[in-house]
Amino acid sequence: MRQEPEEILNQFKERLLSYIGVKVELFKLDAYERIAKIIAILSHSLILMLLSLFLILFLFFTLAFFLGELFNRTYIGFFIVACIYLLLFIIAYRMKKRIQTGIMNMIIGAIQEKEEEDNDETHDLSGNEQPTATNNTTATTDRR
C-alpha cells in the first residue's frame, strides 16, 4: 500500500497549512493576552495615581489652611502651597527623561513578572521541574 508522491505532497501541504493556521491563531491569542495584561497593569496604575492625586491634593489643602491660620491670612497659606506645587513642577519637568524611563521600566518589569508567574503556574500544573535559569531571572527581578 504505497502512496503516490502527489498524495503525500497533498497531505503534507494540508498538514502544513493546518499547522500554520494553528500557529497564527496561537500568535493572535498570545497577542490578546499580552494586550489584556498591559491594559490591566495600566488600569491599576491609573487607579493608584488618581487616589494618590486626591490624597496629595487634600494634604496640600490642609497645609494651605494650616499655614493660613499660622500667618492669619488664608491667601498666604495658599500662595505658599502654590509655590511648593511650582517647585515640584519644575523638578518633575527637569527630570522628565528619568521619570519616563522609570515608568517604562516599572511597566516592563510588571509584565515580565506576570509572565514568569504564569510560566510558574503552567510548570506547576504540568508537574515539570522548572529550570534553574528561570529561578535566577526571578531572583534578579525581585531585587529591583
pLDDT at 55: 97
Residue 137 scores a pLDDT above 60: no
Q: How big is the CA angle at 121 (ends 117 and 126), to the nearest 5 degrees?
A: 150
Give 23 or 116, the one with higher predicted confidence. Answer: 23
pLDDT at residue 3 is higher than 70: yes
Residue 18 to residue 25: CA distance in whole angstroms? 11
User: What's the confidence (pLDDT) of residue 136?
Assistant: 44
**The C-alpha cell that represents 64 in the structure block:** 494651605
- pLDDT confidence tier of residue 78, bands split at 50, 70 and 90: very high
* The three grid cell numbers given for residue 133, joined into one nine-digit string: 535559569
Between 15 and 108, residue with greater pLDDT: 15
Tens of pLDDT, residues 93-123: 999 999 999 988 987 887 787 777 777 776 6
